[in-house]
Chain A
Amino acid sequence: MEALIQLGVLLVLVSLGFFVGRIAEKRHYSSIIRREQEQLGRPTTAARTVMGDDRPVGRSELVMGSVVISVDYFKRLLAGLRNIFGGRVQAYETLVDRARREAMLRLLESCPEADQIINLRLETSSIFKGRQKQVGSVEVLAYGTAVYFQSPLQ
Chain B
Amino acid sequence: MLLSNTEGIPGKNIVAFHGIVSGSTVRAKHVGRDFMASLKNIVGGELKGYTELLQESRDESINRMKAQATQMGANAVVNVRFSTSSVAAGASELYVYGTAVTVE
Which residues of A are interface residues toward B (Cβ below 8 A)? 13, 16-17, 20-21, 24-25, 28, 48-50, 56-62, 64, 66-73, 75, 102, 118-119, 121, 123, 125-130, 136-137, 139, 141, 143-145, 147
Contact = CB atoms under 8 A, between A and B. Distances in A.
A75 B50 CA distance: 20
Nearest to B41: A70
Contact of B2 (A61, A72, A73, A147): A61
Nearest to A120: B5
For the residues of B in contact with A, the DSSP-based class is mixed
Interface of B: 2-7, 9-12, 37, 40-47, 50-51, 54-55, 58, 80-86, 89, 92
Given A57-B12, A66-B54, 12 more contacts: A17-B43, A28-B46, A57-B11, A60-B4, A60-B9, A66-B55, A72-B41, A73-B41, A119-B5, A123-B82, A128-B50, A137-B50
A70 B29 CA distance: 15
Contact of A68 (B54, B85, B86): B54
